[in-house]
A and B are shown apart, each in its own frame.
Chain A
Amino acid sequence: MGFLGSFDLAEEAAQEAFAIAAARWPRDGIPRNPRAWLMTTARNRATDRIRRDRAAAAKTGLLAAELPAEVRMNPTAFRDERLELIFTCCHPALAVEAQVALTLRSLGGLTTDEIARAFLVPEPTMAQRLVRARRKIKAAGIPFRVPPVHLLPERIDAVLAVVYLIFNEGFGGRDELAQEAIWLGRALAELLPDEPEVHGLLAMMLLHDSRREARFSDGELVLLEDQDRSRWDPERIAEGRAELNRGLSLGGRGPYVLQAAIASLHAETPCDWLRIASLYGELGRLTGSPVVELNRAIAIAETDGPEAALHLVDQLALDDFRYLHSTRAELLRRLGRTDEARDAYRRAAELMADGAERRFVERRLRELAGATGSR
């Protein structure tokens, strides 16, 4: 018995799996599923190794995302442990930021430092957060298990939120994280086949992931309209759409199902901007999010023109949001208001860290300067 089991031990990745077992099991007790524990530990070590070799892998054309699959030796045993692990990590008695950190550490295999950088906190702060969370799990008796049926619906919301966060983090470039999130999403869809939002989240992740190879060209950002459709993954799109249909047929109309529906429409050529705008409207009414309204404005630019879109954008209280300024800049550029566009691009760049997005904006600035022959 004991809550320690796989949870506490599995995320130890520094030593040989058996060496860890020899040191820890006598002290902490044999994990409930020793084989799965060993494989999880071995996998985490392998994942760390894969991450270090990622640069080399990219050069040789190997997708980092392919490698973790080879390391999974027994999916059934893995799946059980992983689900118990994620429900434990996402227990409501833990603070949300602790849930995310624990899930990324225990399931995502991220180092404490990587998680710290992802959330812009100092590494010791993140280390403390993890230590405190693990201590809370032991001290408070948070059980290491998939919750009983009557608790599942509320617990699943927390898990979906964390999986979504992980996917977003991975979508920015750490592919194995995005694949981790998708794997978790699939496992959740099997466990809760009647939950529409579970299918919605999985659908959304698959559809976003289908464009992974087309979003960048030689490390430079490529906008949706300019993407090479042949680099979109048709299997991902098909699977994503199947999941979306499952969610819709279950009567799903929640945020994840809506976002998946929008992503599915984005995968069409040409895009049905009217439907996309309408779905963003529905999503906005559900969430009250100004970022959703910003996205709706981008769709309105296609249906009603840049002037109408700019009118919507200028009403949003998102002055510190880089994409507000990049969107304004694009709209102003289309309207030929070059000086204002330039100011907006500059503001956007100020809010961006170095990287592909910032280089894109700087490229736009150079294009504008070339067009007007000034500065």
Chain B
Amino acid sequence: MKYIMLIYQGSALEKQAALPEEEKKQVYADYQGINETPGVTPGLPMGLAENATTVRVEGGKTLTTDGPFVGMKEAVGGWFILEADDLDKAIEVAARVPAARYGGAVEIRPSEVYW
């Protein structure tokens, strides 16, 4: 099964920035490890939410606003694709994402056409 793994940083970036050097290295290594896990297709690095631009079209007019669709704290921070047998395996991989243990979260979205 294909899963889209969405990484929400929440307060993780601030927390990670305050870590001792050893732990920072571990965070980096953990992200590397996930990207190298069998079944994982790394996503493109998502820039900071503050550099996002949100587009709506109302009454035929294109409206742009500065920033993400949701609040800055709630914006998606990264993504990757996971091919796994079942949800339990996806949960195991998600739990290894550093964001999940530093105040962020990982959302597991099964890839399916629902429209």
Contact = CB atoms under 8 A, between A and B. Distances in A.
Interface of A: 3, 91, 93, 139-143, 147-148, 151
A140 B110 contact: yes
Interface stretch (B17-25, B55-63, B80-88): B80-88
Contacts of B90: 141
Interface of B: 1, 3, 84-88, 90-91, 108, 110, 112
Contacts of A151: 88
B108 A140 contact: yes
Given A142-B86, A142-B88, 18 more contacts: A3-B86, A91-B87, A93-B87, A93-B91, A139-B110, A140-B87, A140-B110, A141-B3, A141-B85, A141-B86, A141-B87, A141-B110, A143-B85, A143-B86, A143-B87, A143-B88, A147-B88, A148-B88
A151 to B, nearest CB: 7
* Majority secondary structure, A binding face: loop
Nearest to A150: B92
A84 to B, nearest CB: 13
Nearest to B84: A141
Most buried by B among A141, A142, A147, A148: A141
Nearest to B2: A141
Nearest to A3: B86
Contacts of B112: 139
7 contacts: A139-B112, A141-B3, A141-B84, A141-B86, A142-B88, A143-B87, A148-B88
A143 B85 CA distance: 9
A231 B112 CA distance: 57
Nearest to A143: B86
B97 to A, nearest CB: 17
Contacts of A140: 87, 108, 110
Nearest to B91: A93
A343 B85 CA distance: 61
A284 B85 CA distance: 43
Ranked 4 nearest A-B pairs via Cβ:
A143-B86, A141-B1, A141-B86, A141-B87
A93 B108 CA distance: 10
A139 B3 CA distance: 10
Contacts of A91: 87
A92 to B, nearest CB: 8
Nearest to B88: A143
Which of B88, B91, B108: most chain A Cβ within 10 A? B88
A151 B7 CA distance: 23
A93 B3 CA distance: 14
A306 to B, nearest CB: 51
Contacts of B86: 3, 141-143
B3 to A, nearest CB: 8
A93 B106 CA distance: 13
Nearest to B114: A139
Contacts of A142: 86-88
Nearest to B112: A139
B111 to A, nearest CB: 10
A115 B85 CA distance: 32
Nearest to B1: A141
A148 B88 CA distance: 10
Nearest to A1: B85
B85 to A, nearest CB: 7
Nearest to A142: B87
A91 B110 CA distance: 16
A80 B112 CA distance: 31
Contacts of B84: 141
A87 to B, nearest CB: 11
B108 to A, nearest CB: 7
A27 to B, nearest CB: 18
Contacts of B110: 139-141
B86 to A, nearest CB: 4
